[in-house]
Amino acid sequence: MRITAAQYSCSSRGNRLAFGQGLIGTLGEQHRKQRKMLNPVFSTAHMREMIPIFYDVGHKLRGTLLKKVKKGPQEIDVLYWMSRTALELIGQSGIGYSFDDLTEERPPHEYATCYKRFVPASFKFFFIRNYFLSTFVKIGTPRFRRFIVDILPSRSVRELKNIIDIMHDTSVMIYQSKKKAIAEGDATLAEQIGRGKDIMSILMRANMSASAEDSLTEDEVIGQMSTLTAAATDTTSNALARILHILAQNQDAQERLLQEISEAKEAAAQFDYDQLISLPYLDAICRETLRLYSPVSMIPKTARKDTVLPLSNPIKGLDGSEIREIPIPANTNVIVGIMASNRNPELWGPDSYEWKPERWLKPLPDAVSHAHLPGVYSNLMTFLGGGRACIGFKFSQLEMKVILSLLIESFRFSLPDKGIYWQMFNVATPTVLNTGESRSQLPLIVERI
């Protein structure tokens, strides 16, 4: 089944209320204008500029873990540290702000705490969001709707409102600080977190010089901050945690990756952009993990106009006729099954449900290339495709490779004597069997090499 993303769009009303007028909260021409402004920020040239920031964060993480295993192997909740690291990575390189010094002594930033609470808090309103939100947002003015929310006695409503307020107020504070630094000149901006190379600094400067028809409003720019954080934190952290879990299960693969990194490091103390992306086995591990274990397994879409969904293989109707396409009326909800595409045996072969990074070290099956999958990354739907594909997929890949290269050359990861399984929430999340705890966690034995 093939879906053209230009024909479908996410339900954006809830995202707009939570994250503002960023990419995931806008539709149509407004969304296209934002992508046009943001696309150059995610270019290869800018990715090269971000490598030093990624390494600064990665070295902090490695330093803390080295302290924890100083006296020998320790069981460490890897997900906890990957979550903190991912937030700091997008904080420094994305919005030019430090949320976390990645030490055990410093408590989590208020923004980080709120972000972690946001998904569980918003999930309580799943039914309301799906069936009543479109009506609610048409009632009165934004000020009137806010007044109604403020007087509602529901504890859950107050909790979600406070979470969103803190996230928004933090974004506004960062925006005003950055706006002031830009006005004072490059020297002041270079003294800030991100050194003026972060995504928001680049975006704000480009926006100031853009034409009136291409420029974004202040609310749209502020909306990108929460959008970047929401899109880049849990997905990247959980993908990193998944890779480390798999490597702990596959010691031969972990050893082979260590050998590749060690041999490449003989020529350079620290990888630059080109060296990092040219490590074939590291790249294969990332691609195969994102193929088999996409952090997000399905995406809801809503048809904005009448369209037709072509089928890659015909199906037989109740009357025995052959059906090759399905008409989709406007406002029809569609679930895009990412896993169904990424694991399709007809495309990837009979071993499609097995983790085999070696498949990426040779040409892919002809069926994959002939399928013309719309995904923007490696014939996969992991980052979606079309006009609403993940704009930061290269950014995410680079983050993962920097952190993995630093961790694998310094530590050996192995499994504890505990049952670990992954729950399919909005983002696949690990937890431990039979502990009586519901919190997300990934305990692994970490040993210094």
108 pLDDT higher than 90? no
List phi, psi (to 5°) of 394: -70, -40
Segment 331-373, tens digit of pLDDT: 888 888 999 999 999 999 999 999 999 999 999 999 998 988 8
Contact 408, 258 (CB under 8 A): yes
The top-scoring range by mean pLDDT among 147-151, 231-235, 344-348, 370-374 is 344-348
For residue 29, give every residue at least 6 positions away whose Cβ sits within 8 Å of its Cβ, in sequence order, or none: none
**Residue 4: pLDDT over 60:** no
Residues 389-414: tens digit of each pLDDT? 888 899 999 999 999 999 999 999 99
Q: If pLDDT is split at 50, 70 and 90, which confidence band does 281 have?
A: very high
Highest mean pLDDT among 33-37, 230-234, 369-373: 369-373
Confidence band for 2, pLDDT divided at 50, 70 and 90: very low
Burial letters for 97-116: b for 16+ Cβ neighbours within 10 Å, e otherwise?
bbbbebeeeeeebebbebbb
Is CATH 3.40.50.10190 correct for 5-299+385-448? no
Residue 390, annotated ligand binder? yes
pLDDT at 219 over 50: yes
pLDDT surpasses 90 at 226? no
Domain ranges of the chain: 5-299+385-448
Q: Please state, in angstroms and rounded to a whole number, the distance separating the CA atoms of residues 180 and 191.
A: 13
pTM: 0.88
